[in-house]
């Protein structure tokens, strides 16, 4: 299957489908934080976010990519929550977030570091109750996953969110998704899992059993089940 990875070195172009995905991601994450931090007696919320295909952080037009969206919403959520708590006489909440950013492209990672640095500096200076730790990995997602698990386990994060917005449909194995969802290390886990379904259906090689089997492997589907 022909895939079109983003060219981050010269600035990636933001396409309409990505713009729509980012809108959904931003709105969902904002609501997620609001729900998780709503209890007046709660004084701390700990969260790990894993970007399996992080990209360069911003597109050529300057629009935020998903890593920047996560930070913007974390900052907005804790400021809003603590303003409301102060008005109501409740204890302020602290938020601790481990943000693991992985991408196979070295250009993407280097660009991402440049976009993240000023955001981290701003948070350290003006949002003292948001404790943000960022880790960068430069692998395929499958190659990075063991290290991701180590980070989460070492920090004992129970709340984990995976954003797996892959280019194509075969970058995340079915067994890896099962491992994420079944892990007892993080009982509260959510996954944004994106793949190119139209491209997959267009390029399924039903006349070539071996190639069809390889294409379906990431989804845990065999050609017999497809025929049924």
The model's pTM is 0.83
Report how far residue 185's alpha carbon sits from residue 70's, in angstroms, rounded to the nearest whole number: 22
Asked if residues 64 and 72 have their Cβ atoms less than 8 Å apart, the reply is yes
Looking at every residue in the chain, the average pLDDT score rounds to 85
Asked if residues 197 and 169 have their Cβ atoms less than 8 Å apart, the reply is yes
Per-residue pLDDT at 2: 41
Q: Give the tens place of pLDDT for each residue, 169-206.
A: 567 888 888 899 887 676 789 988 875 555 555 555 55
Nearest C-alpha neighbor of 76 from the set 41, 119, 116: 119
In three-state secondary structure terms, 91 is coil
- Which fold does the domain 16-195 belong to in CATH? Rossmann fold (3.40.50)
Confidence band, pLDDT 50/70/90 cuts, at residue 168: low
Confidence band, pLDDT 50/70/90 cuts, at residue 30: very high
The domain segmentation of the chain, as residue ranges, is: 16-195
Please say if the pLDDT value at position 209 is more than 90: no
Q: Give the tens place of pLDDT for each residue, 100-154.
A: 999 999 999 999 999 999 999 999 999 999 999 999 999 999 999 999 999 999 9
Nearest C-alpha neighbor of 159 from the set 116, 96, 77, 93: 96
In three-state secondary structure terms, 140 is coil
Confidence band, pLDDT 50/70/90 cuts, at residue 1: very low
């Amino acid at each position: 299957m022909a895939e079109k990875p983003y060219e981050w070195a010269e600035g990636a172009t933001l396409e309409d489908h990505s713009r729509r995905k980012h809108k959904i991601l931003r709105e969902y994450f904002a609501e997620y934080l609001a729900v998780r931090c709503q209890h007046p007696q709660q004084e701390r919320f700990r969260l790990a976010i894993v970007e399996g295909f992080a990209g360069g952080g911003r597109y050529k037009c300057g629009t935020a990519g998903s890593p920047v969206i996560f930070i913007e919403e974390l900052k907005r959520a804790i400021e809003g929550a603590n303003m409301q708590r102060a008005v109501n006489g409740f204890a302020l909440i602290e938020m601790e977030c481990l943000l693991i950013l992985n991408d196979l492209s070295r250009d993407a990672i280097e660009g991402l570091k440049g976009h993240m640095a000023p955001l981290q500096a701003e948070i350290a200076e003006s949002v003292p109750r948001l404790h943000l730790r960022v880790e960068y990995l430069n692998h395929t997602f499958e190659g990075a996953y063991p290290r991701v698990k180590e980070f989460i386990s070492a920090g004992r994060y129970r709340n984990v969110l995976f954003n797996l917005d892959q280019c194509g449909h075969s970058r995340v194995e079915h067994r890896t998704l099962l491992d994420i969802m079944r892990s007892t290390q993080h009982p509260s886990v959510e996954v944004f899992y994106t793949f190119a379904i139209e491209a997959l259906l267009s390029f399924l090689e039903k006349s070539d059993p071996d190639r069809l089997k390889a294409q379906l492997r990431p989804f845990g589907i065999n050609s017999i089940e497809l025929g049924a």
